[in-house]
Amino acid sequence: MTVLGQNQYGKSEVRVLKVTRDGATHHVKDLNVSVALSGDMDEVHLSGSNAHVLPTDTTKNTVFAFAKEHGIASAESFGILLARHFVTGQEAVTSARIRIEEYAWQRIDTPGEDRHSFARENQETRTAQVTFDGSGWSVLSGLKDLVLMNTTDSEFHGYVKDRYTTLPETRDRILATEVNARWRHAWCDEAEPAPDWDDSYRRTRAHLLAAFAGTYSFSLQQTLYAMGAAVIDSGPGIDEIRLSLPNKHHFLVDLDPFGLKNDTPDGAVYFAADRPYGLIEATVLRDGAEPAIPVDLTNLP
């Protein structure tokens, strides 16, 4: 003899990005929302009757639609809106649990009026690799997990198409990536003064951010090269930089079935996809320098 105990169902990890446009200044709210509903759900478990079941796909759509209709003032207020909607809108649902993770973005200061470039807060890890063979030094500095985003000034079109191509061309898209970079210092002789490593790191990071924010992008490859070139061109201290940039895709959500227009002048709602993703990698060298950073960055610290 068995009985059914406590149970719930819903949609987990709905990744929603809300971009609000205030002229040239953009504001973002980036959430990971999980919905769990409980109530009169015995029959779906015991007999397979779906009469009281609101599809989990509907809960996902509700998250996107509410982000557009109501905006996201805060994670808490958005969760309250969703929970109230599910409990009051469905007789069989007596309890709703909404769990939300919010990812903070820090605005990148840029010259001029455009304010649409961001860096994810509290994500970056600084790295270093030092090699010494008894006579000479090789120092690789770097960073990983530096998440950047431009909410406009990015296009992608004019690419090769074949029978399997379905990606539509776009003249305005979100460009987001997670920067993994290693750069090789010119310093190799202990008889010469060593760089100020902390200052060098800060300046290199700043050049990467400025180039990402300041490049009107027609491809992530173009942005990668601009970032690497900004570091090399900043001075003689760095001879080589290798960048690995995954394309963190954000797709406009189709809200037409709910009578909502997305991508309106005041902003839009996007689905943040984590995989699969495009991966763009390249090395930028000072003219005449020989490459020395390994192509595969995965085993570097």
Identify the helix (H) or strand (E) that includes residue 101: strand 93-103
Average pLDDT, stretch 190-209? 94
Question: Is 4 a member of any domain?
Answer: no
In SS3 terms, 152-201 reads as CCECECCCCCCCCCCCCCECCCCEEEEEEEEEEECCCCCCCCCCCHHHHH
Exactly one of 27, 68, 207, 249 is catalytic; which is it? 249
> Token match 């009169």: residue?
40
Contacts of 272 (CB under 8 A, 6+ apart): 15, 16, 17, 30, 248, 249, 250
In the annotation, is 11 catalytic?
yes
Question: Looking at the domain assignment, is residue 123 inside a domain?
Answer: yes
pLDDT at 299: 53
Q: Are residues 229 and 197 part of one domain?
A: yes
Name the pLDDT band for 107 (thresholds 50, 70, 90). very high
Instruction: Say yes or no: 91 and 169 in one domain.
Output: no
C-alpha distances in Å from residue 161, one per residue of 166, 167, 168, 219: 8, 9, 10, 16
Residue 244 belongs to some domain of the structure: yes
Q: 201-231 pLDDT, tens per residue?
A: 999 999 999 999 999 999 999 999 999 999 9
CA distance 28 to 175: 13
Higher-pLDDT residue of 274 and 277 is 277
Going by C-alpha positions, the residue among 177, 252, 301 that lies closest to residue 17 is 252
Same domain, 95 and 184: no
What's the pLDDT score for residue 41?
96
Q: Is residue 145 part of a domain?
A: yes
Alpha carbons 235 and 143: distance in angstroms, whole number: 19
Asked whether the predicted pLDDT for residue 123 surpasses 80, the reply is: no
Could you tell me if 224 and 230 are in contact, meaning their C-beta atoms sit under 8 angstroms apart? no
Instruction: Give the tokens for residue 149.
Output: 């985003």
In a domain, 301, yes or no: no
> pLDDT at position 263, please?
87
Domain of 215 in residue numbering reads as: 106-249+273-285
Residues 33 and 164 reside in one and the same domain: no
For residue 90, what are the CA distances in angstroms to 7, 58, 215? 17, 12, 48
Q: Please indicate, yes or no, whether residues 187 and 147 belong to a single structural domain of this protein.
A: yes
Helix (H) or strand (E) holding 57: helix 56-70
pLDDT value of position 298? 56
> Percent of the chain scored above 90 by pLDDT?
86
Say if 181 falls within a structural domain.
yes
Statement: residue 297 has pLDDT above 70 = no
Answer yes or no: do 172 and 230 share one domain: yes
Residue 210 shares a structural domain with residue 278: yes
Please tell me whether residues 174 and 242 are part of one structural domain.
Answer: yes
User: Does one domain contain both 86 and 129?
Assistant: no
Among residues 84, 103, 122, the one where a domain terminates is 103
Beta bridge partners of 147: 178
CATH number, position 141: 3.10.270.10
Q: Is residue 88 part of a domain?
A: yes
Q: Are 191 and 160 in contact (CB under 8 A)?
A: no
Of the residues 88, 103, 118, the one at which a domain ends: 103
Q: Are residues 92 and 167 in the same domain?
A: no
Structurally, how many domains does the chain consist of? 2
Q: Looking at residues 64-88, what average pLDDT do you find?
A: 95
Q: Residue range 270-291: average pLDDT?
A: 94
Final residue before a domain boundary, out of 75, 103, 131? 103
60 belongs to the catalytic site = no
Mean pLDDT of 7-29: 95
Residue 20 catalytic? no
In a domain, 214, yes or no: yes
pLDDT score recorded for residue 134:
80
**Catalytic member of 20, 56, 110, 283:** 56
Distance, CA of 246 to CA of 224 (rounded, Å): 11
The answer, yes or no, to whether residue 300 has pLDDT greater than 60, is: no
Q: What is the mean pLDDT of residues 74-93?
A: 94
Q: State whether 191 and 235 are in the same domain.
A: yes
Interval 46-50 mean pLDDT: 95
Q: Is 147 left (phi over 0), alpha (psi -120 to 50) or beta?
A: beta
- pLDDT band at 114, cuts 50/70/90? confident
Q: Supply 41's token pair.
A: 């759900």
Averaged pLDDT, 168-193: 95
- Calculate the average pLDDT of the chain: 93
Could you identify the residue written with the tokens 């820090």?
106
242 plus 125 within the same structural domain: yes
